């Protein structure tokens, strides 16, 4: 049986470090994980860390030279059995809902027919903002799947709904969709 390919999009959230545990668990289960970072994600986690854990190149800039003479976002989009954005910021969600594809991650998603799972992580006020909620509803109507954040301690020190869902919950959803 072919190993399933998961494109893991990591955006600029303090929760970006939690992608490391997700990558490790997915690899233990036999999935091939290819990471795509936004520029903002690099403020929180390094490509070297993601490459070491995934065993694959961490893709970054929209115009970085590819390993092969292929268009990176199209190649990633075609190979993906599933795309997971974890963590997903309000900015990333808004861009997708608006159809913007001005970075490698959003261009890959828009170029793909693979299912997309979005695991938001942000301040509770950002998550509950009417515009963010409207964007989430628009994406759900378009078939995107969400793993809602949970109530927990946020980077700002407050407790609220915006804390990234537990890794086990994300893995369960991934496996359910890939079956």
Closest CA to 164 of 89, 113, 101: 89
Contact 86, 18 (CB under 8 A): yes
Residue tagged active-site, from 20, 86, 101, 156: 156
Interior angle at CA 170, CA 59 and CA 32, nearest 5: 40
Closest CA to 34 of 108, 110, 132: 108
Asked if 86 is an active-site residue, the reply is no
Q: How far apart are CA 71 and CA 75, in angstroms?
A: 6
Give residue for tokens 């301690």: 153
User: Longest Cα pair distance anywhere in the chain, in angstroms?
Assistant: 47
Which helix (H) or strand (E) covers residue 123, if one does? none
Contact 12, 41 (CB under 8 A): yes
Q: How many CA atoms lie within 13 A of 53 on its CB side?
A: 21
Annotated active-site positions, please? Answer: 156
């Amino acid at each position: 049986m072919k190993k399933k390919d998961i494109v893991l999009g990591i955006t600029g959230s303090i929760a970006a470090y939690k992608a490391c545990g997700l990558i490790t668990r997915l690899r233990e289960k036999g999935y091939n994980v290819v990471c795509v970072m936004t520029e903002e994600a690099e403020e929180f986690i390094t490509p070297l860390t993601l490459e070491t854990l995934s065993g694959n190149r961490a893709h970054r800039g929209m115009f970085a030279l590819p390993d092969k003479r292929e268009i990176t976002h199209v190649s990633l989009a075609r190979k993906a059995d599933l795309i997971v954005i974890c963590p997903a910021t309000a900015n990333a969600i808004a861009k997708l809902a608006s159809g913007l594809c001005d970075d490698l991650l959003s261009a890959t998603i828009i170029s793909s027919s693979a299912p997309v799972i979005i695991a938001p992580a942000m301040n509770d006020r950002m998550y509950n903002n009417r515009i963010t909620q409207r964007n989430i509803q628009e994406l759900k109507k378009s078939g995107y799947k969400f793993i809602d954040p949970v109530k927990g301690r946020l980077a700002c020190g407050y407790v609220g709904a915006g804390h990234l869902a537990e890794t086990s919950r994300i893995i369960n959803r991934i496996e359910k969709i890939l079956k």
